[in-house]
Amino acid sequence: MDTGSSNSDVAFPPAPGPTVDDIAAALLRAAGTRATAQQVGWTVAKTLREVHDALSPILGAQGVDALVHRSVHLAAQADGRLMAGLIEPMALPDLSAAIGGLGKLSPDAAAELGGLVLHTFQELLVSLIGSSLTERLLRSVWSPFLSGLPREGSS
């Protein structure tokens, strides 16, 4: 899914780590078999908390909150379903309230939108600090999203 220049003239460099589809699939796996959309939403909130914890010592809590707000805004431009208040960045730092609207969707749709927001966050961070530093800072957060993926060069 392109979060680039369709409405915002923002072009991001390629981001390290998982794609939107990788993140969505991992959210569904992490939420468990027969997961509900609400369980997927909790998994999104947990991941955002981990991102917040990883980056707050470096960027400050308000800085991370600002990046999450911007990521939701950019993701909403790419997918209008987010405009319906399914993810409410103003509810930060209460991430469970922020993602409460995802429970109104199917589990697949909730995972897709959660994946879009997380991926957009990653792209935004890469545009600010570069891919190498982003990868190092978010390695512990992204490792579960990468663990189920085939490695390059393997079929």
- 74-105: pLDDT as tens digits: 888 888 776 655 565 555 555 555 566 777 78
Q: Does 86 fall in a domain?
A: yes
Domains of the chain: total: 1
Q: Does 17 fall in a domain?
A: no
Q: Does 93 fall in a domain?
A: yes
Output phi, psi for 122, to 5 deg: -60, -45
Q: Does 9 fall in a domain?
A: no
Bigger pLDDT: 128 vs 5: 128
The answer to whether the peptide bond before residue 93 is cis (omega within 30 degrees of 0) is yes
Q: What pTM was estimated for this model as a whole? A: 0.77
Residue 144 has pLDDT above 60, yes or no: yes
Q: Does 84 fall in a domain?
A: yes
Residues 6+ apart with CB under 8 A from 86: 99, 101, 102, 104, 105, 113
Q: Is 17 left (phi over 0), alpha (psi -120 to 50) or beta?
A: left
d(CA 110, CA 39): 9
Residue 6 has pLDDT above 80, yes or no: no
The parent domain of residue 99 ranges over 29-146
